[in-house]
Structure 1
Amino acid sequence: MKLAILSRNSKLYSTRRLVEAGRQRGHTVRVLDPLRCYMRIASSGFQLHYKGRSLAGYDAVIPRIGASITRYGTAVLRQFELMGTYSPNPSDAILRARDKLRAHQLLAAQGIDLPVTVFGDNPDDTSDLLSMLGPPPHVIKLNEGAQGAGVMLTEKPSASRSVVEALRGLYASFVVQEFIGEAEGADLRCFVVGDEVVASMRRQAPEGDFRSNLHRGGTALHVAATDEERAVAIRAARVLGLGVAGVDLIRAKRGPLVLEVNSTPGLEGIEAVCGVDVAGRMVEHLAIHAEQRA
């Protein structure tokens, strides 16, 4: 298999592990900076070039596209797709997952439970909007934030209104959600590859914070997901069209709730905590599907 990995930095742990896993299994692997890829689009066909040379003949591509380059990165990925290259996470699926509001609408429409979420645009509607959610605490999230950035907790109605008004003044896109107190600052990351949860870990927020992201100082422990949690994680990834996903769940009294579906989940934390060759599982999944398309 001829495999491309779209990544801005070949030295990142996740990128290095995918290269290593691919080459160990006898595949040809190349890391491509998506911002150095450029394309020709015509009814007669599609072309991709990289640093002056043509890119063609790739069987599969793994997108490791950061949030800051979503628009251009997904355009490059779409060009690969139009040229017949398989991706476990198609460009449109990444765009669905990156937009928290859209993702929540799609998940809820399929009966997947998540924290109650409200969204509105007009300042005149703020009080009624918050009343639709219920009393605080409230969690306010930027619509395209990542790794816990742009996530705030408000504990009084006046604080919620103030944050909402401030974000509207900055023309930011955001959602407001119910706070799940019984989770006690913990969530469950399920790493989905195809139709299987290949690894899972419980992440705990540091003292004084409610965000459990490892990038924010959270700690992690290997914890086996229940059958119900695995089923929810796999369904959530499938609804958004993702073959590889990090699905974050909260263990609430009413059952597992989907917090977020990450289309570019990091490998370092979960491989270290769980001792699972997640990169290898991703490459094996790719090889099977690329061969089926050949």
Structure 2
Amino acid sequence: MYEYNLILAMNIFILSVADYIFSTQRIYKEAKRRGHNVKIVNHLKCSIKLTNGTAEIIYEGRNISNDADVIIPRIGTSATKHGAEVVKQFELNGVYSTASASGVLIAQNKAQTLQIVNQQKIPIPNTVFSVNPENIEEQIALLGGAPIIIKLQEGTHGSGVILAESKKSAKSIIDTMYSTHTRILLQEFIQESNGEDIRAFVVGDKVVSAMKRKGVEDDFRSNIHQGGSGSKVKLTPEEETMAINAANYLGLTVAGVDLIRSDRGSLLIEVNSTPGLQGIEAYTKDNIAKEIVKFLDNTCLHQDLKTK
């Protein structure tokens, strides 16, 4: 086992709307513990100024464009677009980011995420998305009929996920969504998953932790935020490869990749560019925040001294 004694500390910005958020605090404390200079920057309070081929990121009255060696974006759904623009400007200024701006945007859209991973031959549940209210029965039939899962394309934490158990209820829900211009996708219901899924936490080129999530009784959703529970789980080599490749295809070096196990093998259902640490660290006892900072130690071109 090798540890790294830093000769040069990095200037790390954590982009987060609040410093009290559990995951933000965990990464902050681990980075400080390893000797780095760390600042929590609220990306919603950043302004970008473009002038004559130059660009500035203004925060609390000063230009911080060149103050960071690395940024760790923690961009939630309420701030995706502006957050991605701030990330993009840091990238254009040559600052290393653990999530690309495009990766942040794509991961917040379930349909685009599935388009990309499907193109790369990563197995996913059969999926349909449309905005056409005139052929709803055909859309349901494309998935083999009810029951089906109806998801908001930009939902999170298990919200905006509905199980339609009959064709009649599916048609009613889908028609309502289309009439309100709500963007959704339809997926086959994997009954054998039994209300369970797996969150694989990817850092760089490895899975540093994995947790099985189980929904509460009578709820097909397995998300911890919906009252589910978790336990440490060992992934198969195929599942590890799926998770790592999915994160890489989206331009994310830190990602939560969600899988379900089915009769035809494991299937990818979602990729999260801002995966939370609280549930998975509690259930697995893995120090994921430390793994993120160690990855940055090895990646960001500072002179490290290896000692056994």
TM class by smaller structure: over 0.9
Once the two structures are TM-superposed, the CA of residue 287 in structure 1 deviates from its matched residue by 2.7
SS in 2 for 1:265: coil
SS in 2 for 1:238: helix
SS in 1 for 2:107: helix
Q: Return the letter of the residue paired with 1:50.
A: Y
Higher helix share: 1
Report the TM-score when normalising by structure 2.
0.93
SS in 1 for 2:96: coil
Once the two structures are TM-superposed, the CA of residue 260 in structure 1 deviates from its matched residue by 0.4
Q: Which moved more, 1:157-166 or 1:233-242?
A: 233-242
Once the two structures are TM-superposed, the CA of residue 292 in structure 1 deviates from its matched residue by 6.8
SS in 2 for 1:148: coil
Asked if structure 1 preserves the Cα contact closer than 8 Å seen for 2:204 and 2:254, the reply is: yes
| Deviation sequence 1:174-222 (CA, Å, 0-9, x none) | 0000010001000011000011000001000000101111110000011
Partner of 2:3: none
SS in 1 for 2:198: strand
> 2 CA distance for matches of 1:284 and 1:4?
15
SS in 2 for 1:139: strand
| The one of 90, 104, 108 aligned to 1:94 | 104
**1:169 correspondence with 2:183:** no
SS in 2 for 1:35: helix
| The one of 56, 59, 71 aligned to 1:50 | 59
| The one of 109, 119, 122 aligned to 1:112 | 122
Partner of 1:160: 170
RCO higher in structure (CA 8 A, sep ≥6): 2
> 2 CA distance for matches of 1:99 and 1:183?
23
Aligned identity (percent) is 42
**1:10 correspondence with 2:10:** no
| Deviation sequence 1:247-270 (CA, Å, 0-9, x none) | 010011111100100110000111
SS in 2 for 1:246: strand
Asked if structure 2 preserves the Cα contact closer than 8 Å seen for 1:189 and 1:247, the reply is: yes
> 1 CA distance for matches of 2:63 and 2:298?
26
> 2 CA distance for matches of 1:75 and 1:205?
35
**Deviating runs (4+, > 4 A) in structure 1?**
none
Q: Which moved more, 1:48-57 or 1:86-95?
A: 48-57
Once the two structures are TM-superposed, the CA of residue 43 in structure 1 deviates from its matched residue by 4.4
Q: Which moved more, 1:225-234 or 1:158-167?
A: 225-234
> 1 CA distance for matches of 2:298 and 2:58?
27
Partner of 1:259: 269
Asked if structure 2 preserves the Cα contact closer than 8 Å seen for 1:86 and 1:289, the reply is: no
Partner of 1:190: 200
Partner of 2:217: 207
Once the two structures are TM-superposed, the CA of residue 42 in structure 1 deviates from its matched residue by 3.3
SS in 2 for 1:41: strand
Q: Which moved more, 1:38-47 or 1:211-220?
A: 38-47
**1:282 correspondence with 2:292:** yes
| The one of 78, 84, 108 aligned to 1:68 | 78
Report the TM-score when normalising by structure 1.
0.97
Q: Which 5+ residue runs of structure 1 have no aligned equivalent?
A: none
**1:218 correspondence with 2:225:** no
Q: Return the letter of the residue paired with 2:13.
A: A
| The one of 207, 232, 248 aligned to 1:238 | 248
> 2 CA distance for matches of 1:57 and 1:48?
10
Once the two structures are TM-superposed, the CA of residue 156 in structure 1 deviates from its matched residue by 0.4
Q: Return the letter of the residue paired with 1:32.
A: V
> 2 CA distance for matches of 1:164 and 1:179?
16
Once the two structures are TM-superposed, the CA of residue 146 in structure 1 deviates from its matched residue by 0.4
The two structures, once aligned, show a CA RMSD in angstroms of 1.2
